[in-house]
A and B are shown apart, each in its own frame.
Chain A
Amino acid sequence: MFEQVFTLLAGTLYGLVIGLIPAAGATTGLVALFSFIGIFGDPYLGVIFCMAVVAASTTGDTYTSVLLGIPGANSAAATVVDGYPLAKQGKATLAITAAVTTSTVNGIIWGLLTFTLLPWYTNLIMILGIPELWAFTILALATVGFVSNRWWFRSLCAIAIGLFIGAIGVDPNTNADRFTFGWQYLGDGVQLITLVAGLFAIPEMLEGFTRGQLATHRPQNNTSQTKQGILEVWRYKWDALRGGFIGAFVGMLPGLGGAMSDWMSYGATVAAHPDKKFSTGEIVGVIGPEGSNNAQKATSMIPTVLFGIPGASFAAVLMALFMYLGFELGTPDLVYDTRFFSSLTFGFMWATVIVGVFCLVFTPYISRIAYVPYKYYFPVLLAFIVWSCVQYTGGWEDYVMLALCSVLGILAKKFKFSRAALLVSFILAQRVENLTRQLVSLYNIETLITRPIFVIVILASVALLLYGVLNKNKLEYS
């Protein structure tokens, strides 16, 4: 038992540190594990460590999103929109406490549901065929209206740019390079972490550095903010639970991609509160998306474990690590390995709880970084971001790509092109294309209209898209 607890604590600590590094989320933390995953003599300890990293990094990545306006990971980008303005108003502890509480509660709820019922989810996923997955992807794309800003033409351009960048790589039809401009490096597409870092992290850091900006000048009453943060979660409990539900559902869909869920939750929160001025520091704008990311991490394990289909980018790396440990995910007989499942549950659940408590206790102190001028930690942040982005190949191309994405991010911020809409479009571009090809190959309109889930989700997508586009309550955030 001592070994399990020690491994859990080590994984939790490592995950928390990774979560605190801007742009480096669970995926980066897991990639870095390849160099020492072999040290686990007992492979089940490796499973505990990996799951603790996933849970802890997901909660920890809220900090830089709120304090610095830099997404702690892909799945925490939406938290920036209202979290960072709150920090500027001297309410960093409030925002982080609310975020951590929401994340922890949803992590526990959906973690328990996932790991307890995991072997029985097979039947559920089996009824969702290619048409339903396509429809859910379209539904996700429809949320782009809610995360666009009030400059609609520029938002439209941002969507087009996102779709174009998402189409860079291999054409699934011919298997040939597409939009790579003869640069082989682009053959594998633009990496998500690099785009997120370039779009969000670098522009915010540069602004903070060049202006010598402090996140806040106001003194903070951190103790009362901690209490208030928890109360705000109770006040907006349905938003928190809805965020968790959306995150859990998106995570469960094979291959949809976890970075999507927080934007969908954010969009749903915006739609549910037409009276609020989002992107100016609404606490519910933090609670909504933060509900989704831990829930999504938990349920992503369903398609990953049962079918070997990563539910998110972190899950793809996790699959490889588990294979290294001797567990091939997607293998039917793994479902009967009770020790494997108890290790998954133990690592994820306890790390969620430990990090939640840790963050609630120490957030008032960590939040004081908001008083420190950027210039003192800019080099360290930049070093961490660069490190995260060069985990892909480590070659000069990674640096060039980060520079290009940064230029795009800086221009988008300056000229108010919606970076959120650009990112959502990028994430979904390839998925929509591939599923559309599968759909038209195997189905026709006669067979599709006989599938009730497909029809309902498509109608919902159309309604959501129209509502989102016509919604007057547009974000200021770009």
Chain B
Amino acid sequence: MKQLFVALVIALGATTASADYTMVVPQKPGGGTSVWAEIVAGELERFLDEDINIVHIPGARDIPGFNTFHNEMQFDDKTIMVSHGGNGVSFLQEDVDYNYADYTSIGLMNLNIIAGKNRGIDLDYGGIRFAAGSGMVPEAFAMTMLVCGPDKSVDEYVECFKDNVTWVKGMSGGERRLAFKRGELNGTRENPAAYKKHVESDDNAEVWFHHGILQADGSHADDPNYPGYQFEILFEQRWGVAPSGEFYDAYKLVKSFRDGLQKALWVRSDNPNAQRLQQALLEMSQDSQAIAVIRDKVGDYEWIIGADGNAHRDTLMTFITQTALQNLVKFNTQALGLDSVYKPQLAKDD
């Protein structure tokens, strides 16, 4: 028994490392956000002059890690949360504990997502085969509106989606890319860095649409790398009017929370170290060597730091209305088959 105890103590000791700061990642090692966190933490340490220990708290849809931060770990002044766009989508449509309104932003990356399609086919008339997943909800909204047009009820959009889109479930990111290359899927989507590598280099693929880049005033701007392919522009070209209405509001809500919070660092709202962390991140973002390392490995994205990050989050929060949330959940459950939850407490009144 004594030997057993010693063995367990050794095993426990081997898994514990000491560091000044703790960065909580809601994924196991090897996930995209885990790699991002490893790289950013490695660079940030130099400007913070303290060590950062990465703690992985994986779980379904990367929710348990963020919940654990919210309920327990945020009260430690030296704990930083790393979140990604999927957490933003889950915040809107799932029963989660965390709430962005409760935290101070250290910094975040705001980016665009690009949808590609097989070259030469016009998916705006239906026959779409696309990989499913909760992270694909904004694409589902966008393609539904492009195919089905303006001035429809959510019920009509649901039916139109079912008639025109084969929503293929159970695919990982790599499988999606391969199925797209083989032509089993005729549409796909990637972040800008991955799009360049996986879709742009494919002779049989071309841009379909992108969601645009969220601006400080809450609007979305065209992406200079793919000018003219923003959803709003394409919709107006096809249907003669700008997209609007309740369904569009739900789309704007979900795309903004996913893309506008693609990678983000948070601490408790009254964390005394927040300013120091923001300053270190600012210095890191201005250091060409550090940014070059991050750019080479995870792509070249704009950093929004400190007060600007909080303002960005506040802008996102203004998109949450009762109607937008209800429509998001309705489309998720009825069209996409997702187990979404309507959370009235999140929303302001319309």
Query: Would you call A184 and B197 a contact (CB within 8 A)?
Result: no
Task: Report chain A residues within 8 Å CB of B31.
Answer: 320
Is B29 engaged at the interface, CB distance under 8 Å to the other chain? yes
Is B126 engaged at the interface, CB distance under 8 Å to the other chain? no
Closest residue on chain B to residue A122 by CB atoms: B181
Taking CB atoms and an 8 Å cut-off, the chain B residues in 46-60 that contact chain A are 54-60
**Interface segment out of the listed A79-87, A154-162, A376-384:** A376-384
**Interface segment out of the listed B3-11, B150-158, B230-238, B256-264:** B3-11
- What separation, in Å, do the CA atoms of A386 and B12 have in the docked complex? 8
Task: Report chain A residues within 8 Å CB of B35.
Answer: 320, 323-324
Interface string of B104-135 (1 = CB under 8 A from A): 00000000000000000000000001000110
B38 to chain A, nearest CB (A): 6
Contact of A326 among B67, B197, B297 (CB under 8 A): B297
Query: Would you call A442 and B8 a contact (CB within 8 A)?
Result: no
Task: Report chain B residues within 8 Å CB of A42.
Answer: none
- What separation, in Å, do the CA atoms of A254 and B133 have in the docked complex? 20
Task: Report chain A residues within 8 Å CB of B177.
Answer: 307-309, 330
Task: Report chain A residues within 8 Å CB of B160.
Answer: none
- What separation, in Å, do the CA atoms of A395 and B169 have in the docked complex? 31
Task: Report chain B residues within 8 Å CB of A231.
Answer: none
Is B224 engaged at the interface, CB distance under 8 Å to the other chain? no
Task: Report chain B residues within 8 Å CB of A453.
Answer: none
Closest residue on chain B to residue A390 by CB atoms: B15
A378 to chain B, nearest CB (A): 7
Q: Which residue among B42, B168, B170, B201 has the maximum number of chain A CB atoms within 10 Å of its CB?
A: B170
Is A180 engaged at the interface, CB distance under 8 Å to the other chain? yes
* Given A332-B201, A395-B57: A386 and B8 interface contact (C-beta under 8 Å): yes
Taking CB atoms and an 8 Å cut-off, the chain A residues in 379-400 that contact chain B are 379-380, 382-384, 386-387, 390-395
A146 to chain B, nearest CB (A): 27
Query: Would you call A174 and B170 a contact (CB within 8 A)?
Result: no
Query: Would you call B60 and A441 a contact (CB within 8 A)?
Result: no
Query: Would you call A332 and B133 a contact (CB within 8 A)?
Result: no
Is A34 engaged at the interface, CB distance under 8 Å to the other chain? yes
Task: Report chain A residues within 8 Å CB of B134.
Answer: 175
Closest residue on chain A to residue B168 by CB atoms: A441
- What separation, in Å, do the CA atoms of A434 and B170 have in the docked complex? 4
Is A13 engaged at the interface, CB distance under 8 Å to the other chain? no
Query: Would you call A383 and B8 a contact (CB within 8 A)?
Result: yes
Is A207 engaged at the interface, CB distance under 8 Å to the other chain? no
* Given A174-B337, A383-B8, A442-B166: A320 and B67 interface contact (C-beta under 8 Å): no
- What separation, in Å, do the CA atoms of A386 and B61 have in the docked complex? 26
Closest residue on chain B to residue A319 by CB atoms: B30
Task: Report chain B residues within 8 Å CB of A433.
Answer: 170
Taking CB atoms and an 8 Å cut-off, the chain A residues in 18-50 that contact chain B are 31, 34-35, 38
* Given A333-B201, A394-B55: A177 and B8 interface contact (C-beta under 8 Å): no
* Given A129-B184, A310-B174, A317-B29: A187 and B60 interface contact (C-beta under 8 Å): yes
Closest residue on chain B to residue A35 by CB atoms: B17
Is A185 engaged at the interface, CB distance under 8 Å to the other chain? yes
Is B39 engaged at the interface, CB distance under 8 Å to the other chain? yes
Query: Would you call B59 and A34 a contact (CB within 8 A)?
Result: no
Could you list 5 examples of A-B contacts with CB < 8 Å? A187-B60, A382-B11, A383-B7, A386-B12, A392-B56
Query: Would you call A173 and B29 a contact (CB within 8 A)?
Result: no
Task: Report chain A residues within 8 Å CB of B8.
Answer: 382-383, 386
Q: A130-B179, A169-B60 are in contact. List 20 more A-B contacts (CB 8 A).
A: A38-B42, A130-B184, A174-B337, A175-B134, A176-B338, A184-B60, A184-B64, A185-B64, A187-B60, A310-B174, A330-B197, A332-B197, A379-B3, A383-B7, A387-B15, A393-B56, A394-B55, A394-B56, A436-B170, A438-B169
Query: Would you call A438 and B64 a contact (CB within 8 A)?
Result: no
Is A476 engaged at the interface, CB distance under 8 Å to the other chain? no
Query: Would you call A34 and B181 a contact (CB within 8 A)?
Result: no
A123 to chain B, nearest CB (A): 11
* Given A173-B169, A184-B67, A382-B8: A330 and B58 interface contact (C-beta under 8 Å): no
Task: Report chain A residues within 8 Å CB of B58.
Answer: 188, 392-393
Query: Would you call B198 and A330 a contact (CB within 8 A)?
Result: yes
Query: Would you call B178 and A254 a contact (CB within 8 A)?
Result: yes
- What separation, in Å, do the CA atoms of A374 and B84 have in the docked complex? 47
